[in-house]
Amino acid sequence: MKGILNINKDSGLTSAAVVAKVRRILGTRAVGHMGTLDPQGTGVLIIGVGKATRLFDFYLKKDKQYIADFDFGYTTDTLDGDGIITDKTDVIPTKAALVKALKGLVGELDQIPPQYSAKSIGGVRAYELARKGLTADVKPAKIRVDKFELIGQKSPTKYTFKIDCTSGTYIRSLCRDLAFAVGSLGCMTSIHRTRSGEFKDTDAVTVEQLETLKDNALISVEQALKKIPRIDFDLEFYQKISNGVRIETKKQIEPFTVYCNNELFGIGNSSDGKLKITTFLKD
């Protein structure tokens, strides 16, 4: 069994809990998610099955799109609705002020992750330190926000935003920074991942649907990687590629999928003029 699952995660489930459910449903331990989604978050959670779990690094780096609600006038220790309120303010931004401030949060940014995050601090997760009442020395991380749009208003204090960003972006931190830019405080009260790379929520299946579909919901690795440039090698190289021998190739594009005899071997590159399979996927 090998392939990709595009799961539409329900709120209240951790990414690890979804993986556990998928393992039970499919009857295999070889299951892993390709980038976590907060427990309160919903939407696209990419899961690899079998050798497709080797695509973790490949999919983890994919750009994401989110729709999130930000409530202004208070903040919490976790920067989301699951936390404890730590501060309040009477300053509630106007729609015009928010739209103006959004311009300063698009592009390459140095973002400080939340104290309650999975960032590793000296080998310890930041959230583990925060739960002990300790303040983690969380360093800024380079991120990129391609789009940050205000798309609706749900109450005098709550607005809905659409964000296109790189992997590793904390939407809770964007809420905090946007609130700061307008002289207020903010808290992310909901988040839905609409897209992860080329996978969209409109094509995703719920865990409940997976109970019925089982492995029929699997997207083949070949289908999942079809948008990557493909290089086909002659049959004479089949054994060499199978044995990891680095054969010469003039192709300089990367990454690309490596095929021989119409069989997918994996993802490779040829930066030094020789084929190197970086992610081996063949059975």
**Spans of all domains in the chain:** 3-62+198-221, 64-196, 228-280
pLDDT value, residue 116: 57
- Burial code (b: 16+ CB inside 10 Å, e: under 16) for 14-48 equals ebeebbebbbebbeeeebbbbbebbbbbbbbbbbb
Query: What's the pLDDT score for residue 60?
Result: 87
Question: Across all residues in the chain, what is the average pLDDT?
Answer: 91
Residue 167 phi, psi (nearest 5): -60, 145
pLDDT confidence bin for 207, thresholds 50/70/90:
very high
Say which residue, 175 or 254, is predicted with more confidence. 175
The better pLDDT of the pair 34, 120 is held by 34
Active-site annotation holds for 38:
yes
Active-site position among 10, 38, 69, 203 = 38
Domain 3-62+198-221 has CATH 3.30.2350.10: yes
pLDDT, one tens digit per residue, over 94-115 is 999 999 999 999 999 999 888 6
Judged by DSSP in three states, 27 sits in coil
Q: Which CATH superfamily is domain 64-196 in?
A: Pseudouridine synthase (3.30.2350.10)
Cβ within 8 Å of residue 182, ≥6 positions away: 72, 91, 93, 97, 98, 101
What is the reported pTM? Answer: 0.91
- Decide if 139 contacts 115 (C-beta within 8 A): no
Examine domains 3-62+198-221 and 228-280 and report if their fold is the same. no
pLDDT tens digit sequence for 163-193: 999 999 999 999 999 999 999 999 999 999 9
Measure the CA–CA gap between 44 and 38, rounded to whole angstroms: 11
Q: What does CATH list as the number for 228-280?
A: 2.30.130.10
Nearest to 114 by CA among 135, 95, 85: 135
